[in-house]
Amino acid sequence: MSHGRAVWVMVTAAMLWSIAGVVARHLQAAQGFEVTFWRSAGNAVSLVVLLVWLRGGGTLWRAVRHGGRTLWLSGLCWSVMFTAFMMAITLTTVANVLVTMAISPLLTALLAWMALGHRLPARTWGAIVAAGAGIAWMYAGELRTGDARHWAGIGVALGVPVAAAINWTLLQHEKARSGDGPGTDYMPAVLIGATLSALFTLGPSLPFDATPRDIAMLTTLGLVQLAIPCLMAVAAARVLSAPEMALLGLLEVIFGVLWAWLGAGETPAGAVLVGGALVLGALVANELLGVRARRLG
């Protein structure tokens, strides 16, 4: 996969990731852990079908059994991301959850620097600073209330960027270790994450309250909003650097706030719009400068 194609793969993945919030606002009865359970269960079933189709059943199960510690650590990271996101959506606004997730590039860059010794180009540091300014602007406007449920949602949502930073750095380390070789197939890590998330939330979800419509919507999210884009992201991670992955993943913030605004009536504050514009500008500038640098190089 070329670098340019990998960028577009991540943009598409971010757009698909972003639909969860608006869909969750149209559920009839499902709440809390049950929302996470049905989405993760749908994700796990979808991933089994997709990965067996892509890899073959024997290849998939061999990859799970013999993938090693890093595969399972990556799967654990995915499970935290899957669980924390939907739990946070049930506690606070879509914009607040997505804004909190947007600190992922900052955490990823810091972790890649500490763990992998990455030297980041000036354009990437500039994009991270600009994105950070946008995030700070959004926080300033969004986090003025003292509602306990609101703060609980923010706290749970913090699990997503922390797990994402660890995950992208793990995948980047594997890419560096394997060099020009094929390396380990980390797509099954997404299946491990979905399965663990469903297992973790099954007990607290009982007895089920979701209507058939809720179950259909959440399991469809498992396929369209998780299974497909997560596999796309893992594939793109073989080409893109960890900070680039995190920065492009920030597009989920812009798309998600827009869908919640148009489809669920969650009108974002002015600070969200300004901050989102700064984040998007940082992403565009980073990629344009990166294309120019590669052409000159």
Q: What is the pLDDT of residues 197-219, one digit of tens each?
A: 999 999 999 999 999 999 999 99
In this prediction, residue 199 carries a pLDDT of 96
pLDDT at 242 over 80: no
Q: What is the pLDDT of residues 4-27, one digit of tens each?
A: 899 999 999 999 999 999 999 999
In this prediction, residue 216 carries a pLDDT of 96
In this prediction, residue 143 carries a pLDDT of 64
Q: What is the DSSP string of 266-283?
A: -PPPHHHHHHHHHHHHHH
Looking at the chain, the whole-number percentage of residues with pLDDT higher than 70 is: 94
Quickly list H helices, the chain: 3-17, 20-24, 32-55, 57-66, 69-89, 94-101, 104-116, 122-142, 148-157, 159-178, 187-205, 212-221, 228-236, 242-249, 251-264, 270-296
In this prediction, residue 221 carries a pLDDT of 94
In this prediction, residue 295 carries a pLDDT of 75
Residue 216 CB-half CA count within 13 A: 5
More confident residue, 247 or 212: 212
Q: Are 81 and 164 in contact (CB under 8 A)?
A: yes
3-state class (DSSP) for residue 42? helix
Separation between Cα atoms, residue 214 and residue 34, nearest integer Å:
10
To the nearest whole number, what is the mean pLDDT of the chain?
A: 84
Q: Are 255 and 15 in contact (CB under 8 A)?
A: yes
Domain boundaries, the chain: 3-296
pLDDT at 122 over 90: no
3-state class (DSSP) for residue 221? helix
Q: What is the pLDDT of residues 135-189, one digit of tens each?
A: 778 767 666 656 677 778 888 998 998 998 999 888 888 777 766 455 567 778 8
In this prediction, residue 184 carries a pLDDT of 66
Tokens, residue 265: 């009536």
In this prediction, residue 276 carries a pLDDT of 77
Closest C-alpha among 277, 264, 215, 257 to residue 42: 215
Looking at the chain, the whole-number percentage of residues with pLDDT higher than 90 is: 34
In this prediction, residue 168 carries a pLDDT of 84
This prediction's pTM: 0.82
Least confident of 79-83, 85-89, 234-238, 259-263: 234-238
